[in-house]
């Protein structure tokens, strides 16, 4: 997803997160994400309203986050019914006690200089 495409995110879009402490080292996490990324994106892309995804590692704590970005709450809920179990199988093995959250974007600003 290009920066221009990301800049189409707006208020009302939904970010679905899974967070938790990694069961693996940073190097192992990076390798596992690199291996899983094509299947992850392919599965996410089969869902209407999918806008993008990110996977993060918290430097200080080893907490990780996987986020899917959706056009609306309705498209996020449709993903839950269609693809969530497939995506969870990819990442649950790497995350201790995964916690799931859905957040609605209320305001966005994209800095043009960065």
The 10s digit of each residue's pLDDT in 47-106 is: 999 999 999 999 999 999 999 999 999 999 999 999 999 999 999 999 999 999 988 888
Q: Does domain 3-104 have CATH number 3.40.80.10?
A: no
| Confidence (pLDDT) at 108 | 76
When comparing pLDDT for 97 and 11, which is higher? 97
Instruction: Locate the domains of the chain by residue range.
Output: 3-104
Angle between helices 84-91 and 73-82 (to 10 degrees): 70
CA–CA separation, 15 and 71 (whole Å): 9
Q: How confident is the model at residue 10 (pLDDT cuts 50, 70, 90)?
A: confident
Other CB atoms within a 10 A radius of the CB of residue 79 amount to 22
Residue 2: its pLDDT value, please? 53
DSSP structural state of residue 43? H
50-57 and 14-22 strand pairing: unpaired
């Amino acid at each position: 997803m290009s920066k221009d495409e990301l800049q189409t995110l707006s208020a009302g879009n939904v970010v679905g997160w899974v967070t938790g402490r990694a069961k693996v080292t940073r190097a192992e996490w990076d390798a596992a994400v690199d291996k899983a990324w094509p299947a992850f994106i392919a599965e996410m892309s089969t869902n209407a309203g999918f806008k993008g995804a990110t996977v993060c590692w918290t430097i200080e704590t080893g907490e990780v986050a996987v986020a899917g970005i959706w056009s609306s709450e309705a498209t996020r809920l449709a993903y839950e019914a269609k693809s969530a179990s497939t995506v969870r199988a990819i990442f649950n093995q790497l995350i201790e006690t995964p916690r799931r959250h859905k957040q609605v974007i209320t305001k966005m600003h994209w800095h043009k200089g960065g």
